[in-house]
Amino acid sequence: MRTRKMKLLLAAALMGLAGCTVPPATAEAPPQEQARRAPPMLPQASERAWEEPRSVVEGSTQFGIDLYKRLAEQGGNVFLSPTSLTTAFGLAYAGARGLTAEEMRRVVHYPAGESVHGELGALLRQYAIDGQGQRLAVANALWVQSGFPIEQSYLGLVRQHYSAEPRQVDFVRQPARAVAAVNQWAEANTNGRIKGLLTEQNVDALTRLILTNTVYMKADWLKPFEKGATRQEAFYPHGVPGPAPTPGGMEPPVRMSFMSQESFFRYMENGGDGPRFQAVELPYQGEEMSMVIFLPASPIGLAEFERALGAQRLHGWLDALSKAERRNVLLEIPKLKMEARHSLVPELKALGMRRAFSETEADFSGISKAGRLLIDDVLHQTFLEVDEKGTEAAAATAILIRTTSAPPTPVVFRANHPFFFLIRHNPTGWVLFIGRVRKPSDLKQ
């Protein structure tokens, strides 16, 4: 059985669900009732075999949280995939050099040293799940301008650790066909959930390489919700009950379909150090994946929770939840369907990744030495659907790499009328000769 670490990445990606309404748990059932209703206990996380390098897992979670907080500043819902972003940037980091690589390492929170690619490769191999009621798949690909030379050492690395094969396309002469090829690949690897990842406006004659990653999961709940128990209830966007908008432009309550069930789930409350919240774990079939929902104790406590959020603290909460006893919980959560698309360049620059986007400072010479390459855009598209049966989620990331701009149109300097000139000694600035040309008939040709 795979371990709880998969849950860590899924929990970070689903932090946008933190505002979902979950009432406090009902009182525990008598011991006899617990024995009758509680499912067999799973081995504790500390007892499970685990091969994943913790540094990569924690780094990926922190990178996801960093981007989550940046996107949350824009208001509204947030949903992203730390796994997809960390893996896609692994493809770019494999060819980055010098200060460009160091900036990327800090922002994406990769561990120091070249072992990161081996560790990411180990993660990707362990994450493949295809069983009854559960599926998890990750795919990578390189889309290369036809005829553009790629370093063999780079190709060998991404093949070995990312199972990414180069695919020849023509961004220059056939951009529509190239974009269609990338989009068809992304759609096929996300069961049709990610469509139109690229548009023709995303590529031009300077595009040389696109690095793509997809993550797709679909899993049925271990304990499905009964459709008959789903009912319309109010969701309060600002945590302030009331039939009408409050002063200041706050949104009114929204009617949503809430799923409901009473059963035994791992449950904990955090009422001491840090933000106060309830947390519940909802396992999927096979128990290799779970959704974890954090519900702030205060109706307006999400902001406090987000301020306290960090990878180390999140992992600590998840460790505590994995060791918590199952409680009888009356669980009510809204059905969800979310789709999002982001160009993450502003957020990545704000986090400190600047050289990778610079025409004068980017260094991706590990990918190709045929001209200077830089990242032109980072596109991230996600899909989420949560219903009575289970959860379907997908993400795709595309990192578009182009060559620096072609030389600008030259300024015309045509000396076809009288002009002045001088000759000087540059180290000293001493003018050695001066003159002018005014009468071309006296010149010797």
pLDDT, tens digit (0-9, with 9 covering 90-100), for 317-338: 888 888 999 999 888 889 888 8
Average pLDDT over residues 415-432: 61
pLDDT grade for 425, boundaries at 50, 70 and 90: low
Top pLDDT among 176 and 422 is at 176
- For the chain, the domains span 1-413
pLDDT tens across 218-238, in order?
989 999 999 999 999 888 877
Residue 131 has pLDDT above 90, yes or no: no
Q: Which residues pair with 130 in a beta bridge?
A: 135
State the pLDDT at residue 46: 29
Which three-class secondary structure string do you get for the chain?
CCCCHHHHHHHHHCHHHHHCCCCCCCCCCCHHHHHHHCCCCCCCHHHCCCCCCHHHHHHHHHHHHHHHHHHHCCCCCCCCCHHHHHHHHHHHHCCCCHHHHHHHHHHHCCCCCCHHHHHHHHHHHHCCEEECCEEEEEEEEEEEECCCCCCHHHHHHHHHHHCCCEEEECCCCCHHHHHHHHHHHHHHCCCCCCCCCCCHHHCCCCEEEEEEEEEEEEEEECCCCCHHHCEEEEECCCCCCCCCCCCCCCCCCEEEEEEEEEEEEEEEEECCCCCCEEEEEEEEHHHCCEEEEEEECCCCCHHHHHHHCCHHHHHHHHHHHHHCCEEEEEEEEECEEEEEEEECHHHHHHCCCCHHHCCCCCCCCCCCCCCCEEEEEEEEEEEEEECCCEEEEEEEEEEEEEECCCCCCCCCCCCCCCEEEEEEECCCCEEEEEEEECCHHHCCC
Comparing CA positions, the residue from 47, 45, 63 lying closest to residue 6 is: 45
pLDDT of residue 274: 78
Structure tokens at 90: 């692994």
- Of the chain, the percentage scoring pLDDT greater than 70 comes to 76
pLDDT single digits (tens) 382-401: 998 989 999 998 999 999 99
The CATH architecture annotation of domain 1-413 reads 2-Layer Sandwich (3.30)
Can you read off the two tokens belonging to residue 401?
A: 């790499």
Is 355 exposed, middle or buried, given 0-12, 13-18 or 19+ CB atoms closer than 10 A?
buried
In this prediction, residue 40 carries a pLDDT of 30
**For position 145, what pLDDT does the model report?**
95
> Does 111 score more than 80 pLDDT?
yes
Q: Is the pLDDT of residue 50 over 50?
A: no
Q: Which two tokens stand for residue 81?
A: 């995939």
Average pLDDT, the chain: 81
- pLDDT tens track for 188-225: 999 999 999 999 999 999 999 999 999 999 989 999 99
Does the pTM of the predicted model rise above 0.85? no
Residue for token digits 């139109």? 196
